[in-house]
Structure 1
Amino acid sequence: MKRIGVLTSGGDSPGMNAAVRAVVRKGLYHQVEVAGIYHGYQGLIEGKIKTMEAGDVGDIIQRGGTKLYSARCPEFKTEDGQRKAIEQMKKQGLEGLVIIGGDGSYRGAMALTEKGFPCVGVPGTIDNDIPGTDYTIGFDTALNTVIEAIDKIRDTATSHERTFIIEVMGRDSGDLALWAGLAGGAESILIPEENYNLDDLVERLEKGKKRGKKHSIIIVAEGVMNGNKLAELIEQKAEIETRVSVLGHIQRGGSPTARDRVLGSLFGARAVEVLLAGHGGRAIGMRNHQVVDYDMTEAFTEAHDADMSLYALSKELSI
């Protein structure tokens, strides 16, 4: 290949810029032109494409978000939208694409691959919910953001002797809530992968109070329920007053951790290697601490499972 493209799609995640940088510079190292596609699939349809030099990705590895911007694009899900994108790719002389994003981005990548334009997917999402990889770009940074918030909220919970509910993101995946809850010493963690029991939750709160515990932290994943709804249920059940903090999009921002910078660099470079080897319809991931590439369809046919041993451990340690 002589010319490839790179785009970011879906929700932004810290470390995407590290991946973009790696794609551009790895391509240039192999004397391949790399074009940046701005505003995701929408930009691909509209031809927002620019050839990138090494300097274009300088000083971005430490920045959160994505230099290439991102946008939702319902039009790309249609045959007409995909046709327009292919026309732009032909016009720009692009022979392959690296697509950084989540499962929706992967579906777009697979559609283009099936139409003769090889694409490689790089997992960029704070939710850590892409099957086939142990970690996604952005998860570690978001996790540390949540932990920092838990630590600060615990100070207030301790001072006022209250129970706090902290709602975290993750869509239908509980990884962010689970890891943050364990690392932050939460008394209870509610995740989509495990049915919660309100009676058990209240019993744990009351048991803690009886042994002299004056505050509690409950982490609830957004895929379970809204934090305010959980507060209502607890108050109705046991008349325990709570305070709620919904962390929201603060979890997506911020300078990426060293881990996410390295992960983005490794994944971006591997994606270029896969394209230059003539392969499309592949996804990049980390398995058992090794960078791998695998059939992208696994991301649609397999399920991402939370590590339930961590969930069991969190309950043992929060007695």
Structure 2
Amino acid sequence: MERIAVLTSGGDAPGMNAAVRAVVRKGHHYGLDVVGVYRGYTGLIQGDFKTMDLGSVGDIIHRGGTILYSARSEAFKTPEGQNKAVEKLKEHGIDGLVVIGGDGSFRGAQALTARGFPAVGVPGTIDNDIPGTDFTIGFDTAINTVIECIDRIRDTATSHERTYVVEVMGRDAGDIALWAGLAEGAESILIPEAPYDLDEIVKRLERGSQRGKKHSIIIVAEGVGSGVEIGRQIKDKAGFETRVTVLGHIQRGGTPTAFDRVLASRMGSKAVDLLLQGESDQMVASRKNEIIGVRFDEAFTMKHQPDMSIYDLASILAI
């Protein structure tokens, strides 16, 4: 292992740059040449490579997004595209690849390992929906962004004595809604992993109103459905003045938190270690604050499940 490459793929996540920095500098620490692949698997197929020295990753640890850019690639989903990617890697003398991204990115990395090319994944997604790891890079920053936004919404909700429904991202997982909901003291949290009863939500709002509560916050994970539609149903049933805010992609950008910078640095470093140890077909994972390697197959066969004790606690505290 003398020359490795790193790419970012899928949706961007705060902390990806910190992970890229860790891969590059840990690689140089071991005397490796490190190559950056631009625009994910699209760039891999096109050979959009650039050698990265120590200075190329200077002053990026605090920046959101990814300096390597990211793109979707339909061509890479085909056997022909995957074969072309391996050809490009070998053509440039690359011996191993670090893929920073989510579930789809990891399946791409596994496709390369099936063709005999060593690849390791680093979980970077705000959704925190990758089985096998407690946390993914970008999740902590995203929930802090959501909290900051809801704090501002709460000021307006109180001033106008309104109910606010806030739709957050998360794809098919409810982690962002769950953590932000507990941190915000939301009256109700709607996540894909738990059924919800609209009548019970309305009763909770009515109980709050009867004891003099001036506003209410309901958080809806996008995997549940449209926050706009749920807000309309609540307004029709309860009769409260209701507003809906869809936070959207504002949750994906911004300066990464200290937690995400440290997590990304540890995970990027571990990815290089795994390649040098001859390991492949693995993703880096955080379990009980330990950074380890986990087989892709293990991650793909497991089902992601948020910590439902947080859901139960949020329901109790929002009584």
TM-score computed with the length of structure 2 as normaliser: 0.99
Report what 2:140 is aligned to.
140
Report what 2:32 is aligned to.
32
Task: Report the 3-state secondary structure (helix = DSSP H, G, I; strand = E; otherwise coil) of the residue aligned with 2:172.
Answer: coil
**1:83 Cα deviation after fit:** 1.1
**1:234 Cα deviation after fit:** 1.1
Output the CA distance in 2 between the equivalents of 1:238 and 1:271: 52
Output the CA distance in 1 between the equivalents of 2:95 and 2:279: 11
Output the CA distance in 1 between the equivalents of 2:153 and 2:91: 53
Output the CA distance in 1 between the equivalents of 2:268 and 2:191: 31
Output the CA distance in 1 between the equivalents of 2:201 and 2:127: 25
Task: Report the 3-state secondary structure (helix = DSSP H, G, I; strand = E; otherwise coil) of the residue aligned with 1:13.
Answer: coil
Q: Percent same amino acid at aligned positions?
A: 66
Cα distance per residue 1:139-189 (max 9 Å; x no partner) = 000010000011110011011100000000000100000000000111110
Report what 2:23 is aligned to.
23
**1:238 Cα deviation after fit:** 2.4
The one-letter code of the counterpart of 2:151 is D
Cα distance per residue 1:227-254 (max 9 Å; x no partner) = 1000111122222221011000000000
**1:297 Cα deviation after fit:** 1.2
Report what 2:5 is aligned to.
5
Listed as ranges, the matches of 1:209-224 within 5 Å are: 209-224=209-224
Listed as ranges, the matches of 1:39-78 within 5 Å are: 39-78=39-78
Report what 1:193 is aligned to.
193
Unaligned runs of 5+ in 2: none
The one-letter code of the counterpart of 2:281 is G
Report what 1:277 is aligned to.
277
Q: Is the 8 A contact 2:154 2:217 kept in 1?
A: yes
The one-letter code of the counterpart of 1:214 is K
Listed as ranges, the matches of 1:130-279 within 5 Å are: 130-279=130-279
Unaligned runs of 5+ in 1: none
**1:226 Cα deviation after fit:** 1.0
Output the CA distance in 2 between the equivalents of 1:94 and 1:226: 45
Output the CA distance in 1 between the equivalents of 2:203 and 2:233: 13
Report what 2:105 is aligned to.
105
The one-letter code of the counterpart of 2:86 is I
| Residue 317 (structure 1) aligned with residue 296 (structure 2) | no
Report what 1:129 is aligned to.
129
TM-score computed with the length of structure 1 as normaliser: 0.99
Bigger Cα displacement from structure 2, 11-20 vs 225-234 = 225-234
Task: Report the 3-state secondary structure (helix = DSSP H, G, I; strand = E; otherwise coil) of the residue aligned with 1:179.
Answer: helix
Task: Report the 3-state secondary structure (helix = DSSP H, G, I; strand = E; otherwise coil) of the residue aligned with 1:146.
Answer: helix
**1:298 Cα deviation after fit:** 1.8
Cα distance per residue 1:187-216 (max 9 Å; x no partner) = 110000001111111111111111111110
Output the CA distance in 2 between the equivalents of 1:67 and 1:291: 24
Q: Is the 8 A contact 2:167 2:220 kept in 1?
A: yes
Task: Report the 3-state secondary structure (helix = DSSP H, G, I; strand = E; otherwise coil) of the residue aligned with 1:297.
Answer: helix
